[in-house]
Amino acid sequence: MQRYPIICEAISKGVALSIYYDHKQRTIEPYAYGISKEGNELLRAWQTWPLPADWKLFRLDKASLLSISSTKVGPVQIEYNRNDPAMDRIYCER
């Protein structure tokens, strides 16, 4: 059962998320939200801030303060591979 429906909402609306992770506030474009074989909820995202922009895999048990931004996400990053192999089951995906 997904604990963060806000992530699927952001993906469906095409907007960024603000997330606090690893002692930093971050702005991310969510791509896939699911669960690992070990039972950890994961979020694959393109981090746009702080720079440099890059792909990140977030363990959501280490995240807090998730909120939807009004910032529209850009086009799908060409490096994105659907059906993320880090996830055993995907709840929603861009």
Give the residue extent of every domain in the chain: 5-76+84-93
- Peptide linkage before 85 cis (omega within 30 of 0): no
What is residue 76's DSSP assignment? P
Query: What are the residues whose beta carbons fall under 8 Å from the beta carbon of 17, sequence distance 6 or more?
Result: 6, 7, 10, 27, 28, 29, 30, 45, 66, 67, 68, 69
Number of Cα atoms under 13 Å in the Cβ half of residue 11 = 19
At residue 1, does pLDDT exceed 80?
no
**pTM of the full structure:** 0.91
**What is the model's pLDDT at position 15?**
97
Cβ count near 2 (within 10 Å) = 15
- What is the rounded distance in angstroms from the CA atom of residue 71 to the CA atom of residue 88? 29
At residue 20, does pLDDT exceed 80?
yes
Chain center to CA of 72: 14
Query: What's the CATH class of domain 5-76+84-93?
Result: mainly beta
pLDDT tens for 26-80 read 999 999 999 999 999 999 999 999 988 999 999 999 999 999 998 999 888 888 8
